A and B are shown apart, each in its own frame.
Chain A
């Protein structure tokens, strides 16, 4: 509701109220994070104590959490601190590795999605070929590919996306109204 009011009322008061609310949201998040970390520790510790399959991962999680916390509290978070070294040389590369997996998953998903089973799938396959060649540097050298790719992206694809956007917008308004009117209270853990 505060966001809605702030969208239409540009005054300093509405902005101050909005900023206060977002600040409170940050504070709640910070405290919830503490609860979340204890919930994670409890879950991992219970699994570790039962030595369930994959217990080594539970151990690694707990040790990593404790070590990073010690490094952060003891050495700070400066550019040359042990904490940042661990972050830059262990966590960041691991995250990059998981992100890199996306390339292989895109390939496997594309192989499955573009299988020409029926008319719609054939249309999808043809569109995909034009778009992939049109956007890739090799296809960009051939004007017909890039022109067709742009046409597909800016016309049928954009039309479909805008239709979805309108649906999502209406759904968002309806959900917000249900919450504001108290019709929908499941997210509060109530009937």
Chain B
């Protein structure tokens, strides 16, 4: 039986109807090709139905082939992306199966040449979204620059910042500030530094100590500058103490333990947590709660936001963290950008409603417009 099968394969392999396709992987740096195959096994191997096949690559189609991957017959993607190739060079591919009795090879696929792309077409929808939102925000920044009066709704967590600083001043205790574990490249950390600027100006005018243990040395350097500027703006540059803004460790739970220890020893009246937080959020907030400190938090992590909500007095939700600097500084340009964000949000809500209505009428094309890769 097997000898008959081998004979038929040797005779018919060159006219196999099995098809393998290879093409350039779009939207990449010219190092990848996409190989597609038909369902396995090919008709010639239907009787033995092998588990695995070799996907092989060659430069000329006649020279030695190298195995680039093992393909399972159960693979339902029927696709493999071969990476690490050279842009502009030709490649051939084939599938093969060899055992002690049978040798089968698919017809050659190719040549195909990986091409370098200078624009990712699949991300055009994201680009349009950024341009639209960016333009709206820029227009409102311009309006703010021209001094147009813009209303900003009260945000409880930010209104409470003044109250929290006042409380610490009355009690004669320090304020503890933390920007979490984010590096300076994170927008939440930038927003945190902007809030720190306003907070430091206020604590400087009240003469209340501000303690800021840090877990990123770059953030430490930035925070020292921000606080120094805040003290200078408040007219108390001499009161600035750089030793109160210091690096502790870049270890996550080492940082949590250090800040907990500072809270237990220094007993701050107010804890401000603004930035990117991870699992340490609840450890910090619960310890702060246990010492009776008034706590205000804001983070860009929705999971940690839930922890802060049960342990803190006030929490900035979602974009309120990014609105805080404008709210506290009352800078018209910054407030203008917030109005731009609000208008963008209204547009997004309208698009969502339109998408829901169209989806109800089985018009999936609208949702497809917003799919990202």
Quick check: is B358 within 8 A (CB to CB) of the other chain?
A: no
- From 291 to 324 in chain B, residues with beta carbon under 8 angstroms from any chain A beta carbon are 300, 302, 305, 307, 309-311, 317-323
| Cβ of B351 to closest chain A Cβ, rounded Å | 11
B residues within 8 A CB of A39? 217, 220, 243, 246-247
Quick check: is B77 within 8 A (CB to CB) of the other chain?
A: no
Contact assessment for A171 and B307 in the assembled complex, using a CB-CB cutoff below 8 Å: no
A residues within 8 A CB of B87? 12
A residues within 8 A CB of B137? 173-174, 177
Which one of B196, B222, B310, B323 contacts A109 once the chains associate, using CB atoms below 8 Å? B310
Which one of A11, A173, A191 contacts B133 once the chains associate, using CB atoms below 8 Å? A173
Given that A28-B218, A109-B286, A186-B325 are known contacts, is A170 also in contact with B187, CB under 8 Å in the complex? Answer: no
A11 to B120: give the CA distance in the assembly, Å.
9
Quick check: is B345 within 8 A (CB to CB) of the other chain?
A: yes
B residues within 8 A CB of A168? 300, 302, 318-319, 321-322
Which one of A8, A113, A187, A189 contacts B123 once the chains associate, using CB atoms below 8 Å? A8
A residues within 8 A CB of B319? 167-168, 170-171, 174
Quick check: is A106 within 8 A (CB to CB) of the other chain?
A: yes
Contact assessment for A179 and B190 in the assembled complex, using a CB-CB cutoff below 8 Å: yes
In the complex, residue of chain A having the shortest beta-carbon distance to the beta carbon of B255: A98
- From 244 to 284 in chain B, residues with beta carbon under 8 angstroms from any chain A beta carbon are 246-254, 256-257, 261, 265, 279, 282-283
In the complex, residue of chain A having the shortest beta-carbon distance to the beta carbon of B28: A10
Of residues B134, B250, B285, which shows the largest number of chain A Cβ atoms within 10 Å of its Cβ?
Answer: B134
Q: Could you mark each residue 26-49 of chain B with 1 if its beta carbon is under 8 Å from any beta carbon of chain A, else 0?
A: 011111000000000000000000
Quick check: is B168 within 8 A (CB to CB) of the other chain?
A: no
| Cβ of A36 to closest chain B Cβ, rounded Å | 3
A residues within 8 A CB of B184? 187
Quick check: is B117 within 8 A (CB to CB) of the other chain?
A: yes
Which one of B127, B141, B194 contacts A187 once the chains associate, using CB atoms below 8 Å? B194
In the complex, the number of residue pairs spanning A and B with C-beta atoms less than 8 Å apart equals 214
Given that A11-B117, A15-B29 are known contacts, is A95 also in contact with B254, CB under 8 Å in the complex? Answer: yes
Contact assessment for A174 and B338 in the assembled complex, using a CB-CB cutoff below 8 Å: yes
In the complex, residue of chain B having the shortest beta-carbon distance to the beta carbon of A40: B247
| Cβ of A114 to closest chain B Cβ, rounded Å | 8
Q: How large is the interface on A (under 10, 10 to 19, 20 to 34, 35 or more residues)?
A: 35 or more
- From 147 to 166 in chain A, residues with beta carbon under 8 angstroms from any chain B beta carbon are 161, 163-166
In the complex, residue of chain B having the shortest beta-carbon distance to the beta carbon of A16: B29
Quick check: is B344 within 8 A (CB to CB) of the other chain?
A: yes
Given that A29-B217, A184-B325, A191-B233 are known contacts, is A10 also in contact with B29, CB under 8 Å in the complex? Answer: yes
Quick check: is B118 within 8 A (CB to CB) of the other chain?
A: yes
Selecting from B61-69, B97-105, B223-231, B363-371, the interface stretch reads B223-231
In the complex, residue of chain A having the shortest beta-carbon distance to the beta carbon of B258: A61
Contact assessment for B29 and A11 in the assembled complex, using a CB-CB cutoff below 8 Å: yes
In the complex, residue of chain A having the shortest beta-carbon distance to the beta carbon of B218: A32
Quick check: is B354 within 8 A (CB to CB) of the other chain?
A: no
Contact assessment for B120 and A109 in the assembled complex, using a CB-CB cutoff below 8 Å: no
In the complex, residue of chain A having the shortest beta-carbon distance to the beta carbon of B220: A36
Quick check: is B119 within 8 A (CB to CB) of the other chain?
A: yes
Contact assessment for A98 and B134 in the assembled complex, using a CB-CB cutoff below 8 Å: no
Quick check: is A138 within 8 A (CB to CB) of the other chain?
A: no
Quick check: is A172 within 8 A (CB to CB) of the other chain?
A: yes
Of residues A101, A170, A186, which shows the largest number of chain B Cβ atoms within 10 Å of its Cβ?
Answer: A186
Of residues B27, B31, B127, B217, which shows the largest number of chain A Cβ atoms within 10 Å of its Cβ?
Answer: B217
Contact assessment for B116 and A165 in the assembled complex, using a CB-CB cutoff below 8 Å: no
A residues within 8 A CB of B205? none
A171 to B300: give the CA distance in the assembly, Å.
10
Quick check: is B130 within 8 A (CB to CB) of the other chain?
A: yes
Contact assessment for B334 and A8 in the assembled complex, using a CB-CB cutoff below 8 Å: no
Contact assessment for A10 and B226 in the assembled complex, using a CB-CB cutoff below 8 Å: no
Given that A170-B345, A171-B319 are known contacts, is A102 also in contact with B127, CB under 8 Å in the complex? Answer: no
- From 101 to 123 in chain B, residues with beta carbon under 8 angstroms from any chain A beta carbon are 116-120, 123
- From 66 to 100 in chain A, residues with beta carbon under 8 angstroms from any chain B beta carbon are 91, 94-96, 98-99
A residues within 8 A CB of B22? none
Contact assessment for B345 and A166 in the assembled complex, using a CB-CB cutoff below 8 Å: yes
Quick check: is B348 within 8 A (CB to CB) of the other chain?
A: yes
A residues within 8 A CB of B127? 8
| Cβ of A37 to closest chain B Cβ, rounded Å | 7
Could you list 11 examples of A-B contacts with CB < 8 Å? A10-B27, A32-B221, A57-B265, A98-B256, A101-B283, A167-B317, A171-B187, A172-B187, A176-B187, A177-B137, A186-B194
4 interchain residue pairs of minimum CB distance: A189-B225, A171-B322, A36-B217, A167-B318
In the complex, given contacts A7-B123, A109-B310, what are 13 additional A-B residue pairs having Cβ atoms less than 8 angstroms apart? Answer: A4-B130, A10-B118, A39-B247, A42-B243, A57-B265, A96-B253, A102-B282, A110-B310, A167-B317, A168-B321, A170-B133, A186-B194, A189-B222
